[in-house]
Amino acid sequence: MTPGVFVSEKDLVCVDGEPIVNSAPGKVYIMINKPKGVITTASDEYGRTNVIDLVKSKERLFPIGRLDKDTTGVLILTNDGDLADRLTHPRYEKTKRYTALLDRVLSKDDLEAISSGVQLSEGTTAPCAITFPGTNHMMVNIELHEGKNRQIHRMFNSYEYMVRELERVEFAGLTAEGLKPGAWRHLTQAELKLLKGKT
């Protein structure tokens, strides 16, 4: 596992030439490429490594939403409760895109059935987009606008598929491109405006 990269307050950090600046005093917005085997909670009674352990911040941060222990990909950490609500509340319908590796080829009929909505214990999932990124139909792309607990695993399990690997490749328009697993950086002003729905 690659540890997080420490950045001091004196460092000038840019992404694509744009300086990274927090939008309000005391507010912190961080993107991390969550590695496999790290939990998403801010603390753990069993002492397991969590995403907060990978980030060197003086502020008390929490993750926006959760990724399962073995799910990888883009995750936002912050101390801004208003932004967290905006990104997780169903009424805002923020897009989340995933790539999943299944244990067998996904049939056309099952693809249509799962993407139309699956009955779970707390209700039926909203329609989602499922596509194949290539000729290997064990690999699928999923686009969701909601975030039920272990939703992708449970949707495919309902049709007797096992999700072997799962990566969140995009969250609310942001990707972790350029970040190695376990690495992190502060969000840019442009990214923050995108998350808040401002132009």
Question: Which residues are part of the catalytic machinery?
Answer: 68
Assigned token pair, 167: 């990566």
Rounded to the nearest 5°, which phi and psi values hold at 145? -125, 20
Burial class (CB in 10 A: 0-12, 13-18, 19+), 47: exposed
Hey, is 119 helix, strand or coil?
A: strand
3-state secondary structure of 68: coil
3-state secondary structure of 114: helix
- CA atoms within 13 A of residue 114's CA, in its CB half-sphere: 25
Per the DSSP assignment, residues forming a β-bridge with 96 are 144, 171
